[in-house]
Amino acid sequence: MAERAFQISHRLGISAAVFIAALILSALVAVAMRAEGEFTMTPGDWAALRFTIWQAILSAFFSCLFAIPVARALARRRFVGRSLLITLLGAPFILPVIVAVLGLLAIFGRSGLLNDALRAFGFETVSVYGLLGVVLAHVFFNLPLATRLMLQGWRSVPAERFRLIAQLGMPPRMVFRLIEWPLILRIVPGAFALVFVICLTSFAVALTLGGGPRATTIELAIYQAFRFDFDLGRAAVLSLLQIVVAGGAAVLALWLIPQVSFGGGLDRMQARWDVRRGFQRGIDAGFIGAAALFLILPLAAITLSGLRGLGDVPLHVWGTAWTSLWVALVSVLALLVLALPLAGWIATTRCASVETVGLLGLAASPLMIGTGWFIIIFPFADPADWALGVTIVVNALMALPFALRILVPVMRETVQSYSRLTQALGVQGVRLWMWILLPRLRPQIGFAAGLTGALSVGDLGVIALFADPDRATLPLQMYRLMGSYRSEAAAGAALILLVLAFGLFWILDAWGRRHAIAE
Amino acid sequence: MLSLNKVLMCQGAFSLRANLTIEAGCKVAVIGPSGAGKSTLVNAICGFVAVAEGQVQLDGRDITQALPSKRDMAILFQDNNLFPHLSIAQNVGLGIRPAMRLSQTETAQISMALDRVGLAGFEDRKPGALSGGQQSRAALARALVQGKSWMVLDEPFAALGPALRVEMLDLVASVALETGAGVLMVTHSPDDARRLADQVIFVADGVANPPVVTAELLDNPPPALKAYLG
């Protein structure tokens, strides 16, 4: 009904978008100029390209394949700990990659639980390094994400549909054909695309579990050209390759990627009368149990070995924990300064394509931006001095797509419900933000801030390019400890990092939900 | 005096014409079939729907392009009249001036207005803790402190029961009497029109007809209105 635009000024949002575009484009230009005349691809580059795409396809395939039966089982069964398990499905998303890798090594590594068991029964042991390990880690992160997406799908089935099924006494096979299969067809392409894009720019997993000529992603190749050969030209060529691959995939995936709901409500159970007992129940129990073990075992292993190793953590590592904490907090501030005006703009503009601004963060890889900014800063100053600053900005940029997905729907709803009233009362400008928008969006702001804080505190990306021995964040320090085989100290550092990431998320999210108005 | 001079309002394919004048202080009901454009009419008067042709005048002043907050009108919508995260006092206070920190006199003014609509002592409650009728009263208290020369009501009591609705209509009438404000009310119910309104604007077939004295129109309805009333 309201024909006039809502009184949210678009100036701030447009400034934020311009700032983001400038940040990414300047890095791109710097990279392109540095790579001038060197656009040849070595066999190693082709191998990196092939591996990057192949591992992303496998990771997306297995994440979605296993997510289907797990989500189906979770949608059908009511059991003690169900809502806890569904909450736990959100944990890998905010779990620092390097911590998860350490946890996975404790289970699947050379002297992990799995290989101990294989040895005990006289079988060959398996090596988790290389393609297998990279895909395993990616499935660990993305199976829960895919499962949550599928659960959303199951929840979208009207309750009446299940009553009708019970009334007609349909067997599970019919339910699958009539309801579940169309559902899967609808959701899987989007989930696959999302996981594929996320895995394309994977760095920390490849750094720790990959490597060598057969298991190097483009992102890792940029890092190696940079750190080991200090060949800025090659790093620049690889960065261009990366942005073509990741950017292209992100644009393609734009049409497929679903609305990701990060909020609660997924643990609510729909009443089901079909599939009560018997064979079906056994299958469901098997999948739920396997998924739960796959999630919980690595986390438990980190916690246990971390507690043992806490005493071995050197004092300077505790110092980097402090650095990581304030870097994360400044990242959160930077994110909010960018995301809130952008969300206001996106929610009130009629130009739908504006929403893609937020996806730039997904398309541009952190190491590409890092390389570009290194090239820009290098002639004028010591890039190591800028390590933390660039890390802060890049972390905020990487969290932006998720933050916008969280903020924009509520912003839109607030605008729809209250635009006429605020106009009639003449509430606008700073007052509109302070009294109406920020209080209304408080739970979402807290949630987005928590995600950003956790992602930022655990990030091992740009910092690895820039840092010198004196400047490091906790994830980088932990990686160095792992590299020098100080596994007790690394486990202790992992526990500190885990507590920081989950603690930051929990505190910021709880702040948002405190005083949330029950309506 | 509120006048619409050869006004054309368009919303997509739908268009509505109006050429009419409402006397100051008059209580006018807007009735007509669903989808005839009752809400479009009041939304255009309030400044939420752009006017394609013609002029809207308030006491001789052209307000066609004025912002909704600059039109000397207090508005009650069907729902979402109160901000759920603000207290009742803050919600009413927004009508005095859009500032959160109010002076003592203003706070007293809010309490008096709440007392007037039967919500004494509700200052610190949140809208969620109030019933539907109480929420309407709180919105009415805000209209009271706004002290505008027109009150525009877009079916604000449609969700209330019959007895409560009558009560609210009487409250609107007495608030209007107190402030000397004119009332423009969209309604579905001829009974509501009879109870509150001096005059009725009948909207049908893309035209908002000039106001006619309520009893006259409802007792001898033209064919289109007869069809609507059934």
Rounded distance, CA A246 to CA B79, Å? 46
Identify the pLDDT of residue A141.
93
pLDDT tens digit string along A158-178? 776 777 676 666 777 777 887
Which member of B11, B95, B126 has the closest CB to residue A425? B95
Rounded distance, CA A427 to CA B86, Å? 14
pLDDT tens digit string along B212-225? 999 999 998 888 88
Residue A270 phi, psi (nearest 5) = -85, 140
CA distance A514 to chain B (A): 12
Query: How many CA within 13 A on the CB side of residue B197?
Result: 32
| Total Cβ atoms within 10 A of residue A471 | 17
Rounded distance, CA A456 to CA A460, Å? 9
pLDDT tens digit string along A174-222? 778 878 888 888 889 888 988 998 898 888 999 999 877 788 999 899 8
pLDDT tens digit string along B27-49? 999 999 888 899 899 989 988 88
Contact present, B149 and B180 (Cβ < 8 Å): yes
Residue A384 phi, psi (nearest 5) = -60, -30
Which residues of chain B have a Cβ shorter than 8 Å from any chain A Cβ? Answer: 11, 39, 43, 46-50, 67-70, 73-75, 77, 80-81, 83-86, 94-95, 98-100, 126, 128
Q: CA torsion A31→A34→A36→A42, rounded to 10°? A: -80
If you write DSSP's letter for every residue of A430-481 in order, what string do you get?
HHIIIIIIHHHHHHHHHHHHHHHHHHHHT--SHHHHH--TT---HHHHHHHH
ipTM value > 0.90: no
Query: How many CA within 13 A on the CB side of residue A88?
Result: 18
Chain B positions in Cβ-Cβ contact with residue A423 (cut-off 8 Å): 47-48, 67-69
pLDDT tens digit string along A72-124? 999 888 888 888 888 888 889 899 999 999 999 999 988 888 888 888 888 88
Contact present, A135 and A66 (Cβ < 8 Å): no
Chain A positions in Cβ-Cβ contact with residue B154 (cut-off 8 Å): none
Helix (H, G, I), strand (E, B) or coil at A74: helix
Mean pLDDT for all residues in chain B: 89
| Total Cβ atoms within 10 A of residue A429 | 11
Chain A positions in Cβ-Cβ contact with residue B128 (cut-off 8 Å): 517-519
Are B47 and A423 in contact (CB < 8 Å)?
yes
Q: Quick one: CA dihedral A121, A127, A131, A136, positive or negative?
A: positive
pLDDT tens digit string along B148-205? 999 999 888 888 888 889 999 999 999 998 889 999 999 988 899 999 999 999 999 8
Reply yes or no on whether the pLDDT at B209 is more than 50.
yes
CA distance A441 to chain B (A): 10
Reply yes or no on whether the pLDDT at A518 is more than 90.
no
Helix (H) / strand (E) containing B29: strand B27-31
Percent of chain A with pLDDT over 70: 89
Which member of B48, B98, B126 has the closest CB to residue A3? B48
Q: Which residue has the tokens 């609705």?
A: B165
- pLDDT band for position B115 (50/70/90)? very high
Rounded distance, CA A451 to CA A504, Å? 8
Are A1 and B126 in contact (CB < 8 Å)?
no
Identify the pLDDT of residue A324.
94
pTM listed for this prediction: 0.80
Helices (H), A35-90: 43-76, 82-88
- pLDDT band for position A519 (50/70/90)? very low
* Nearest chain A alpha carbon to B42: A1
pLDDT tens digit string along A371-411? 888 889 888 888 888 889 999 999 999 899 889 888 988 88
Are A436 and B67 in contact (CB < 8 Å)?
no
- pLDDT band for position A3 (50/70/90)? very low
Which member of A4, A421, A518 has the closest CB to residue B81? A421
Q: Which two three-digit tokens encode residue B169?
A: 């209509």
Are B98 and A426 in contact (CB < 8 Å)?
yes
Q: Which two three-digit tokens encode residue A418?
A: 């209250």
Chain B positions in Cβ-Cβ contact with residue A435 (cut-off 8 Å): 83, 86, 100
Identify the pLDDT of residue A273.
61
Identify the pLDDT of residue A2.
39
* Nearest chain A alpha carbon to B142: A425
Identify the pLDDT of residue B27.
94
